Chain A
Amino acid sequence: EAEVAQSPRYKITEKSQAVAFWCDPISGHATLYWYRQILGQGPELLVQFQDESVVDDSQLPKDRFSAERLKGVDSTLKIQPAELGDSAMYLCASSLETEAFFGQGTRLTVV
């Protein structure tokens, strides 16, 4: 069964450092999402891509976060500089029509 791949699974970084997460969606899925999930809360949408174009980044803290999907396939989410409050699970999801399939996520801890 096809899955959304994410790496790394876990990342520990010091505050003020840069960190990057990678996502490879299910083949053929044009829509890709990055979500942030703080422990005990629901996922929060950060950015949505349709192919290589950003269609919604209204919740992305653009002073420190950036996301790209240059060839419309895999995607990278970057944080620079990381802050303590960025500690969370970063989930990538992809969809063909409406159902969003989630990856395993990257657990980020900022120390």
Chain B
Amino acid sequence: GENVEQHPSTLSVQEGDSAVIKCTYSDSASNYFPWYKQELGKRPQLIIDIRSNVGEKKDQRIAVTLNKTAKHFSLHITETQPEDSAVYFCAAPWIGGGADGLTFGKGTHLIIQP
């Protein structure tokens, strides 16, 4: 199946600085790469996604980049704020299996220091 690796597991940044989280995937047929944010005790919520026909997508302070050749994608958060503190998960579908259920990374605990 799909193998998704996510780094780092914990990331602490000063408020106002940028944060970058990186993921790699194994299924070369994967075509959709979402990022989810999960606050403590809450459900994962989609914050941004990118499809394989584009290399970058931005939404205000959040951006995602994709390198299909290297099979990696990254989440960039600029001008971090306290409310950005959460666990972030990358994911990719396992197209090779005939379905498209998402395989998630292990998560990055982002801590915004005041």
A contacts, CB < 8 Å to B:
33, 40-45, 48, 50, 55-56, 58-59, 91, 98-105
Cα A101 to Cα B46 with chains together (Å): 8
Say whether A43 contacts B98, CB under 8 Å: no
Say whether B97 contacts A58, CB under 8 Å: yes
Cα A102 to Cα B46 with chains together (Å): 9
Say whether B43 contacts A105, CB under 8 Å: yes
| Binary contact readout B59-71 vs A (1 if CB under 8 angstroms, 0 otherwise) | 0000000000000
Chain A to chain B: the 5 pairs with minimum beta-carbon distance, closest first: A42-B104, A56-B99, A102-B43, A55-B99, A48-B101
Give 19 A-B contacts (CB < 8 Å), ordered by A residue: A41-B107, A42-B91, A42-B104, A42-B106, A42-B107, A43-B44, A43-B102, A45-B103, A48-B100, A48-B101, A55-B98, A55-B99, A56-B98, A59-B1, A98-B32, A98-B100, A99-B46, A100-B46, A102-B45
Interface size counted on chain B using CB atoms at 8 A: 23
Which residue of chain B has its CB nearest to the CB of A97? B32
Say whether B43 contacts A103, CB under 8 Å: yes
Cα A58 to Cα B101 with chains together (Å): 11
Contact A98 B49, CB 8 Å, known A42-B89, A42-B104: yes
User: Of A40, A41, A56, A104, which one neighbours B101 at CB under 8 angstroms?
Assistant: A56
Cα A41 to Cα B106 with chains together (Å): 5
From residue A24, how far is it (CB to closest CB) to chain B in Å?
15
Among B1, B43, B44, B46, find the residue whose CB has the most chain A CB atoms closer than 10 A.
B43
CB-CB < 8 A to B107: which residues of A? Answer: 40-42
Which residue of chain A has its CB nearest to the CB of B105? A42
